[in-house]
Amino acid sequence: MKTLSLTRPDDWHLHLRDDAAMEAVVNHSAAQMGRAIIMPNLKPPVTTTAQAQAYRQRILQALPQGSSFEPLMTLYLTDTTPPEEIQRAIDSGIIKAVKLYPAGATTNSASGVTDLRYCDETIAAMAEAGLPLLMHGEVTDADIDIFDREAVFIEQVLKPLLARHPSLKVVCEHITTEQAATFVAEAPDNVAATITAHHLLFNRNHMLVGGIRPHYYCLPILKRERHRQALLKAATSGSRKFFLGTDSAPHAQGDKESSCGCAGAYTAPAAIELYAMAFEQMDALDQLEAFASLNGPRFYGLPVNPDKVVLERNSWALPDSYPYADGQRIIPLLAGETLPWKLQKASI
């Protein structure tokens, strides 16, 4: 059987939620990833170092015995995050980044930033300390079309921000457009991007042709094929600026299959398998390890994972659903479908 051995990957953009929901999903990531950057968009959001420390403890407690999965914590930036919070975050040693949600852009972003200029002093402290700013890069103006919101964000928010803070480390999270891929590829080394498996595998037709498929609905929304091709090219290009970030975003089945469904694709159970499918489409499986396991740690200044994982070319069916909090179910993306690559079970 054909196999592929990789340094164990990390997930540089992951939603674990909290309490029973977190306990239901965390092992899917822990079974695959060495580490993950944990998103802070809880209710209420993780805005302080103390909250991040407590949240990290809850995650560690939910892990199975013997797991070495490491949650890397983030702070949720608000209009009023003080520069002193950045110093506390650095001193804690557990916080690896700060997350920008433009207010109203996505799930649990109501407490997000209304104007980044309010945060200039805090961002200057981050640039000074080398603490990256991770961004959900979409504008929220009602008059900007949802398919254009990422490209407009680059022009209206990101370029002015980098002009004010040229040395700030920035990760453009879950990029979805040719414009973002080109911007990041041409930017200096302090600017990088994560790309999800679903944006590499699907375009908006998958979500909208032949019926509306709520499990494909996420933000930023799936774009047209031209953009998917640009993302595939960027991810497989060998550039060190692009790395794995699943944006696996669990929502209960009923909250997705609804007249006003939540945004987010649940991809954690088969994350590396989905990326392998995408890289195989480009005949670029030889680039998967750099994207999944090497480029992220390099950007964050962390060592690569010490162990390996093995993917085998052995088709298997993804379950139709998994248990979730409060007796609910959660539907993974590609539920019930056959996937060509399978991660060999770890020994723990």
HSE, side-chain direction, 13 A CA sphere, residue 82: 6
Subset of residues 254 to 273 that bind ligand NCD, contact rule: CB under 6 A:
263-264
Task: For the chain, give the number of residues.
Answer: 348
Nearest to 279 by CA among 232, 337, 246: 232
Tell me whether residue 15 is annotated as binding.
yes
Q: Are 329 and 252 in contact (CB under 8 A)?
A: yes
Tell me whether residue 286 is annotated as binding.
no
Q: Does 247 bind Zn ion (CB under 5 A)?
A: yes
Q: Does 219 bind ligand NCD (CB under 6 A)?
A: yes
Q: Does 136 bind Zn ion (CB under 5 A)?
A: yes
In degrees and rounded to multiples of 5, residue 341 shows phi and psi of: -110, 145
Kindly write down the DSSP assignment for every residue of 197-239, as one continuous string. Answer: HHHHH--HHHHHTTS--GGG--SSPP--HHHHHHHHHHHTS--
Q: Does 136 bind ligand NCD (CB under 6 A)?
A: yes
Which one among 85, 247, 273, 289 touches ligand NCD, defined by CB under 6 A? 247
Pattern of binders to Zn ion over 99-128, x per CB under 5 A?
A: -------x----------------------
Tell me whether residue 41 is annotated as binding.
yes
5, amino acid identity: S
Q: Are 92 and 72 in contact (CB under 8 A)?
A: no
Cβ distance to Zn ion smaller for residue 99 or 228: 99
Which one among 32, 41, 236, 239 touches ligand NCD, defined by CB under 6 A? 41
Q: How many residues bind Zn ion (CB under 5 A)?
A: 3
Q: Are 79 and 113 in contact (CB under 8 A)?
A: yes
Q: Which does 107 bind (CB under 5 to 8 A by kind): Zn ion, ligand NCD, none?
A: ligand NCD
**Cβ 275 to ligand NCD, closest distance in Å?**
17
Q: Annotated catalytic, 247? A: yes
Contacts of 115 (CB under 8 A, 6+ apart): 79
Cβ distance to Zn ion smaller for residue 35 or 136: 136
**Cβ 150 to Zn ion, closest distance in Å?**
10
CA dist 304 to 209, 294, 299, Å? Answer: 41, 6, 11
C-alpha span between 221 and 228 (Å, rounded): 12
Catalytic residue numbers, as ranges: 247
By CB under 5 A, name the binding residues for Zn ion: 106, 136, 247
Q: Which residues are annotated as a binding site for substrate?
A: 15-17, 41, 136, 219, 251, 263
Applying CB under 6 A, the residues found at the interface with ligand NCD are 15, 41, 106-107, 136, 218-219, 247, 249, 263-264
